[in-house]
Amino acid sequence: MKIATFNINGVNKRLDHLLAWLAAAGPDIVCLQELKATDGEFPKAAIEAAGYGAVWRGQSAWNGVAILARGCEPVLTRAALPGDPSDTQSRYIEAAVSGILIASLYAPNGNPRPGPKFDYKLAWHERLKRHAAELFATGLPVILAGDYNVVPEARDIYPTRSYDDNALVQPESRAAFRALLDQGWLDALRKVHPEDRLFTFWDYRRLRWQRDAGLRLDHILLSRKLTRRLKGAGIDREVRGRDGASDHAPVWITLRD
DNA sequence: ATGTCGTGACTATCACGA
């Protein structure tokens, strides 16, 4: 079974990219972020025609998350991250697919820092941590996949000083990600590729793709029950190189049956 | 500070988020 996460940066703007990648990569479950579409604008018919059922939570202009499942309908379990009913941003959706509970998440970017955006980022991660602990404690097979907007370690970014003040690399941001690993979640990409340079995002500006000036922001975390099923993992970098591509590449893992 | 995109205000640029 192949499970992927992809920050699509506009699901309608890049629908042809998405469909081409689905056909080529053939993932069984896909977590999407940054739909940049309202619920009504989600391209349900095209995704259905490609052979995928879907659940989604959209929002006008920004954010938006979805879960696709090949040949079946995901069973929605949550459409918001618990802990703050006043939070209206569409950044979390969770569903049951093929005996796995899977979440597609899009953590806040947090820039500029310091300020309310960074405070919101940390508060959101705190809520994620609380919910993740509950999920982990169930003992169920659970996957938390998405754009965490955190560069976990120094080796997960190209050598530069230009991100020193950026919310993506701050100690508080890294501590939030580390706290999930401390609960027992497995960073699947790093587990499969312990020594490799792993980038999943390249800013549109300053020729960062051409220079391979990337960052690792998109992560797939596995609960205890799934760690021994982990078989492979990768990043579909070629997708980032296409004309009009998202600024993120799809990230995937494979699990033994 | 800047770079480059996407979207949504509004009709040709500008604000905002990333």
The total domain count for chain A is 1
The answer to whether A243 is a known ligand-binding residue is no
Show which positions of strand B are touched by protein (CB under 7 A). Answer: 1-8, 17-18
List, by residue number, the catalytic residues of A: 106, 147, 248
**Whole domain around residue A138: which residue ranges?**
2-255
Give me the CATH number covering residue A86. Answer: 3.60.10.10
Task: Band the pLDDT of A83: cuts 50, 70, 90.
Answer: very high
Written as one string, the DSSP assignment of A224-256 is HHHHTTEEEEEE-HHHHTSTT--SB--EEEEE-
Q: What is the mean pLDDT of residues A26-50?
A: 98
Q: What is the mean pLDDT of residues A121-138?
A: 98
Digit-coded pLDDT (tens) for A194-216: 999 999 999 999 999 999 999 99
C-alpha closest to that of A218 among A252, A255, A169, A172: A252
Q: What is the mean pLDDT of residues A160-179?
A: 97
Task: Band the pLDDT of A114: cuts 50, 70, 90.
Answer: very high
- Please give the nucleotide, over all strands, whose C1' is closest to the CA of residue A162: B2
Question: DSSP strand E in chain A: where?
Answer: 2-7, 29-33, 52-57, 65-70, 75-78, 92-97, 100-106, 142-147, 186-187, 218-222, 230-235, 251-255
The pLDDT of residue A60:
95
C-alpha closest to that of A67 among A78, A40, A180: A78
Instruction: Please tell me the distance from the alpha carbon of residue A19 to that of residue A68, in angstroms, as a whole number.
Output: 12
